[in-house]
Chain A
């Protein structure tokens, strides 16, 4: 079993849809949970950062962490064509960024 699993997609949705992206993990020591967006031929860009369990909202994006189920989600409301990218979940036991484990990424296409 991989340490972090993520549905690779591709996921295709119409503009305006609500998108749900999910990851599961096996290491109960993870405390810091991140979502990155990666456009083609670019480096990953941090979208959301959450410590421990709970929800965090930033504009159209909501991140949820359920440590009891080892499950994290990213919701995108009112999706836009500019949201078309690969979304990577990432996790770490500490904030020193020396043990960050990334999921394989989900490719998302938002169709106008």
Chain B
């Protein structure tokens, strides 16, 4: 088991609602990346947070937003939920140091979001 924890594990929401997912990074890690994994697909990169700022973003609309806190934990917020947002949401933590290669990313177990 990695030291990355996500909550909640499962969630059911109605189309149009808003949802907040949470991730606690592994001790010593300063970077959190969020991924969306649809059934039968590989994870798709949503965005990354490093030192409390967004540090890269994939091809997701602005209704996907995030935060990183001083303790490096992170939240993923999704507004105006659509049926296609139903997926496993994964966070991964890693350690980035300026001018050095990053460490491997460790994934949490994910939050299964169902939008009905």
Binding site for B on A (CB under 8 A): 4, 6, 8, 36, 41-46, 49, 88, 90, 94-105
Q: How many A-B residue pairs have CB under 8 A?
A: 65
Complex Cα gap A77–B40 (Å): 25
Complex Cα gap A91–B65 (Å): 24
Interface of A is mostly: loop
A96 and B110: CB pair below 8 A? no
Chain A residue numbers with a CB within 8 Å of B2 are 43, 45
A-B contacts besides A45-B107, A88-B42, A97-B94, 11 pairs, CB < 8 Å: A4-B42, A42-B110, A43-B2, A46-B105, A88-B43, A96-B48, A97-B102, A98-B45, A99-B45, A100-B33, A100-B45
Which of B4, B35, B94, B107 counts the most A-chain CB atoms under 10 A from its CB? B107
Complex Cα gap A41–B101 (Å): 30
Chain A residue numbers with a CB within 8 Å of B42 are 4, 6, 88, 90, 102-105
Q: How far is the CB of B6 from chain A (nearest CB, A)?
A: 8
B44 and A102: CB pair below 8 A? yes
**Which of B40, B43, B56, B104 lies in contact with A49, CB distance below 8 A?**
B104
A43 and B110: CB pair below 8 A? yes
* Residue B92, interface by CB 8 Å: yes
A96 and B56: CB pair below 8 A? yes
Q: How far is the CB of A63 from chain B (nearest CB, A)?
A: 14
A104 and B45: CB pair below 8 A? no
Q: A43-B2, A43-B90 are in contact. Are A97 and B40 (CB under 8 A)?
A: no
